[in-house]
Structure 1
């Protein structure tokens, strides 16, 4: 069930935007169907191995202690089986589905944003208008991009629509001249704003963060192994015990 749910979450769940809970439900459905189809496999294997049957009569099965023993045996079997199944959790990448979904979301929305730049709306100021879906961290990403470009933000207006789209309006001036940006700079700044909403935006960075952390962990272990091997090659230890033994023989 765990393996099926993880595969569904990383494939169909990414394609159709299913939640992890929905993928787990489908995995449970597959597990139950497999349980019905292969339920008699163990019994057939036991008979093939020559294991004897209990051969209890109907009267014996009706005895209280037999019923209690059967109930506790079934509960113990379920407990052991589920505990054994939980071992799969050690071999599953828990962050893979989230990274794939974020990456798919980023790719789907890559061309959903529009940027409009104008030096005509306000005197001695530049107005940037960003239209697109309302992503988490979008406002912070655009603000950081404008600041790194050398712009001072003097006003921000946000308008949200029922369909989930937003219109963010940024009124900025040059940090040095305190006037509107040059007309020749508008195209470059607009491109940087588009990059902040897509490939350099928070969704993309969050997607790549897990992969970078895994690579850093692997490189750290490799460096520690190389340092230990180098230290062993540079250091030579000679025990003094053989020398003492030779001295005792000379005496």
Structure 2
């Protein structure tokens, strides 16, 4: 609205970029434990992981595990395709080294945590926290953080809504890695491991109900930008004032309610016999 209240959200991707300072240490630690425990030590590539990937390439003719560091994943997500080829892996390594020279570790981690795909159209950790738990980042528990950190490996397979059993196995493995790396205490590990799964799909939560206005705005955006209206990350502001809209909405509802009370009970329209059959 004109006074900055959300009335709707449309698009192919949900993404809410955040500064690295806004992301809790528990969550960043969970991702590092899951994806790249030597992140703060290497210069962009993990020789051991790459050696393992090279051995698989020689034996099978294709790369099964990428040996990718977080920096290499940033290179792939921003600049490269997802094809598993030697040429792409070489480019990934080259770009990772350049990224490490140009950016600090916190800056690289910020790019990664804002870009990574985490299932259910959620890109980045803030969108994932909202989609799976309906929470802000600082409200996530250790178990919930570990669950989100388990998604990059296979967002569909480890989706806690669709595959809760597999997702729990992945979550518990990440918790064990965090314990092994001394990121959490034994007590924290036990409490998180024994916690129940609470993930569920949380859709958008508008600040104001104005679906007719929102649809007009959507149609105008599509008219101006075509299908790219759903992928450009546009913020569309309408002239509607939220207080006036809410007052109008309440007035209509009250008017209908008063009308119904004035006319009283008007008998059923019809009777339907239920046979018990579908």
Q: Which range, TM-score by smaller chain?
A: under 0.3
Instruction: Give TM-score scaled by structure 1 length.
Output: 0.25
Larger radius of gyration: 1
Bigger relative contact order (CA 8 A; separation at least 6): 2
More helix by share: 1
More strand by share: 1
Instruction: Give TM-score scaled by structure 2 length.
Output: 0.24
